[in-house]
Chains A and B, each alone.
Chain A
């Protein structure tokens, strides 16, 4: 009979799980009119969870070393919760407008966020896999949630089939690592890897794990599902896809590679370099030909993942800080942009072609200006926060001697600038198309605040960067 493990470090997750189950009951018994109530309660749950995470234990390992908490996991969780909370607001606004109010929506979001939090705190390959699966299964359902819509169903099935394949690869890689290193805990792996010489089996296992994770964050060449799922899923759910899972996935990526596998940096660095370069360039090039703004955003997010991965390539504290700051900026850029996309309605009907934005600057100057700011930020043009995000990433890369990688990344950003500019061109240079309906209150506030934050982050980045720095330091301490 062993003593019970310490629960305190996992209070946020435990609270969230119980609250989600409670809300499920509430939804079931109150029947159909409970979407808004459940949404707001879900947001409240997430806020409380964030507070618990911030107030909670500084740094601890529990559950037989399956679960870890430190400054880094707290930062990553708060980012994920922030992204999920903001997109949940968008989801609610959309569902109300579309008469598609189902209380399962916020709950699925809640469960997938729970999975993300477990991913972030995972300290063992098994725990990692469980977190990834809890997240992914909820996401598959979310993608197909609009079940009478053919494209949404297709998106869900595609996501599920490819996602299951990636999960399989992840699991297979984990089993190889276990077979050759003899353990699945991160500490044990770190020791085993460090003591080397490492067998080829571990290397192959790591490559499979990387493949599985690269799929989850949609890095090229494992990105094929992204444009279809982004296009097929309802817009606010796409917004959720583009923010929370990306943030959680990249943080997990970082933890796995610089934690247990830090000793094999030579081996995995080349793989990540290849993935980063491919993501940046393909994300930039493939986006040029897109007509649907959601597909365009899919390629844009692929490109952003490529930039973030440069922080991972560097593999030191500076790189981690760059990555975290980039994610923070990316979060608001994405949410703001999707708020604009959600507001693309002509006479109550949603439109998704980029041509529909024509002349927006004359019909709806505020919305056009918000999107223009966000696009310049995505392109990384100062004085927008997107520039600083890229700046910190490239600072880390050049400092670590990856000058060629930085040059490739910057040139890819020029190509990327082209399609961001194209959106601005359509809004500002082209003759007006059909006027769009004014955005709703929630979406309007979200787009205004996110675009304003692009400037605010640029002018006073210091507090946020020092947070990211503290988180990065915590990651490398333990």
Chain B
């Protein structure tokens, strides 16, 4: 084992995992021949590439050292030497699991699109492989400019995926997705440049140790917030999400919900909290407020949806509201809960979108009323759907419970009113998910075309079964995930509270009086 460790620590494993998909894409690009042959080969190359990438990423997890908050597997190469901007990669307890999440979902996406994507298969697979490179690179980037490059780079393949292979108002949704995110991102870029001139470097570890004046922190925080809040997405800048989800192809929705939304939460954890502690403290009430609106309001909106994907999209906004509450509650339970919630939501919502995809492939509608009674002719499907539905609701023993529970426990210590209001989201969540499940799966099997639907085929089982395993694993033994992040989160919080303790002037957070009244 030590020999293996030695070997791996000398291998640029993060670079390999990041760019391996691009190698696969290059292979696909080189395939020649009839359209049918090219399509089949593209599918297989994409599948094998993503599987190999996933296996290699598991090596990162195996070799990852749990007890330390240091960045591991670091790599550094000069990139823009004039500006001391380097290609600097590395992972810590916060980012490592997101890398695994991305690589885990990718082969499932390829499998899920196996039959449903018929046109321009080759380009589709290339887009997904490029997307994987961008996502993994973003979570590994240890330089802010590099982070930004990957963060923005994600837009290109996602824009094409929604626009080319989507349905409905795909063009509108693709543009909305792109321009919303880009607007936020350019403000992040300004913040990034401003920080760079203060510190003289864009290296993330260096930026974390730098101190910014309070006024500057406030502006920088807002610049970052503009970007991350759109990505999370937080109310009221969430409106791109339902559109993008509804019109994206199934696998696109999976990646969107599974990984892309996490980039916002990850941004808060990586940049806003450690670099701008005073501003984070100041704006915490704002985040709490917006998150609570997200949790309650979008849950209610989800309740009245008639489109399955839209319902799950709104539920994503609500669940991500828990995440932002947890992040800004800033104690060990809440932050770990938030990260765990991001991971579990990444898996569960991805699975829910896959479940929608399964029935959509058969009936070509997402209208909830068009279904009903599926338990009679699709029992295996009903079982899988139930597992994910209950995980989304937060049933103990599934992944969803741990995250929500930790977030609420942590938040309760900070502000009981916020925790109370957020907890109402759990109830609402159960309402809309159970209601959805009842309408789709239970009831009489009255419609002829629904009766003709066949149960899961082996390929679909292969897609859903691993997720069921992971969902149960996360619910039953969450320690294997929490152990990874413990040290990093503790380190983050220690630095944060130290920074607050040593600041020159104490200024009450935004809207303190309002919050006091609430309390």
Contact = CB atoms under 8 A, between A and B. Distances in A.
Interface stretch (B175-183, B276-284, B395-403): B175-183
B194 interface: yes
B83 to A, nearest CB: 7
Contacts of B78: 462
Interface in B154-179: 155-156, 159-160, 163-164, 170-171, 174-175, 178-179
Given A381-B153, A428-B163, A407 B190 contact: yes
B208 interface: no
Interface in A374-390: 376, 381-383, 387-388
A109 interface: no
A465 B182 CA distance: 26
B368 interface: no
Nearest to B119: A362
A391 B196 CA distance: 12
A465 B82 CA distance: 8
A342 to B, nearest CB: 25
B193 interface: yes
A178 interface: no
Interface in A404-447: 406-407, 410-411, 413-414, 417-418, 421, 424-425, 428-429
Nearest to A390: B189
Nearest to B126: A369
Given A381-B155, A462-B82, A421 B178 contact: yes
A139 to B, nearest CB: 35
B186 A414 contact: yes
A365 B190 contact: no
A463 to B, nearest CB: 10
A382 B148 contact: yes
Interface string B107-121: 000000000000010
Given A410-B190, A417-B178, A465 B149 contact: no
Given A382-B152, A407-B187, A418 B175 contact: yes
B190 A395 contact: no
Given A395-B83, A425-B175, A382 B153 contact: yes
A465 B156 CA distance: 26
The CB with the most chain B CB atoms within 10 A, among A365, A382, A391, A466, is that of A382
Contacts of A398: 190, 193-194, 197
A411 B159 CA distance: 19
A382 B174 contact: no
Contact of A381 (B81, B145, B156): B156
Contacts of A469: 82
Contact of A413 (B178, B186, B194): B186
Contacts of A399: 193, 197
A167 interface: no
Contact of B120 (A361, A381, A383, A410): A361
Contacts of B189: 391, 394, 410
A270 B167 CA distance: 49
B41 to A, nearest CB: 16
A478 interface: no
Contact of A403 (B82, B190, B196): B190
Nearest to B178: A421
B153 A411 contact: no
B183 A411 contact: yes
A281 B187 CA distance: 17
A461 interface: yes
A385 B164 CA distance: 25
A95 B153 CA distance: 39
A425 B190 contact: no
A418 B83 contact: no
Contact of B193 (A388, A395, A428, A466): A395
Contacts of B145: 391
B484 to A, nearest CB: 29
Contact of A410 (B80, B160, B186): B186
Contacts of A410: 186-187, 189-190
B121 to A, nearest CB: 12
B79 A387 contact: no
The CB with the most chain A CB atoms within 10 A, among B160, B186, B194, B197, is that of B186
Contacts, number: 87
Nearest to B82: A465
A383 B171 CA distance: 23
Contact of A429 (B123, B163, B187, B193): B163
Nearest to A376: B156
B174 A425 contact: yes
B194 A403 contact: yes
A276 B109 CA distance: 45
Contacts of B187: 407, 410
A425 B80 contact: no
A417 B83 contact: no
Given A428-B163, A461-B80, A465-B82, A395 B155 contact: no
A429 B170 contact: yes
Interface in B127-161: 145, 148-150, 152-153, 155-156, 159-160
Contacts of B83: 395
Contacts of B174: 425, 429
A425 B163 contact: yes
A429 B6 CA distance: 49
The CB with the most chain B CB atoms within 10 A, among A383, A399, A418, is that of A383
A410 B189 CA distance: 9
B190 to A, nearest CB: 6
A136 to B, nearest CB: 36
B183 A414 contact: yes
Contacts of B153: 381-383
B152 to A, nearest CB: 5
Given A406-B190, A417-B179, A429 B164 contact: yes
B175 A365 contact: no
Contact of B171 (A365, A407, A429): A429
A414 B123 contact: no
Nearest to B83: A395
Contacts of B159: 421, 424
A462 B178 contact: no
A157 B79 CA distance: 48
A319 to B, nearest CB: 14
A414 B170 contact: no
A252 B18 CA distance: 44
Nearest to A399: B197
A414 B185 CA distance: 10
Contacts of A413: 186
Contacts of B123: 361, 365
Nearest to B155: A381
Contacts of A421: 159, 175, 178-179
A411 B186 contact: yes
A462 B194 contact: no
Contacts of B183: 411, 414
Contacts of B148: 382
B179 A418 contact: yes
A395 B196 contact: yes
B170 A417 contact: no
A354 to B, nearest CB: 14
Interface string A171-203: 000000000000000000000000000000000
Interface of A: 361-362, 365, 376, 381-383, 387-388, 391, 394-395, 398-399, 403, 406-407, 410-411, 413-414, 417-418, 421, 424-425, 428-429, 461-462, 465-466, 469
Given A381-B182, A462-B79, 13 more contacts: A361-B120, A387-B152, A395-B83, A399-B197, A406-B193, A411-B186, A424-B160, A425-B175, A428-B164, A429-B164, A429-B174, A462-B80, A462-B82
Interface of B: 78-83, 120, 123, 145, 148-150, 152-153, 155-156, 159-160, 163-164, 170-171, 174-175, 178-179, 182-183, 186-187, 189-190, 193-194, 196-197
Q: Which 9 A-B pairs have the closest CB atoms?
A: A410-B186, A382-B149, A398-B193, A429-B163, A382-B152, A414-B183, A428-B164, A414-B182, A399-B197
8 contacts: A381-B152, A398-B193, A403-B190, A406-B193, A410-B186, A428-B160, A428-B164, A429-B174
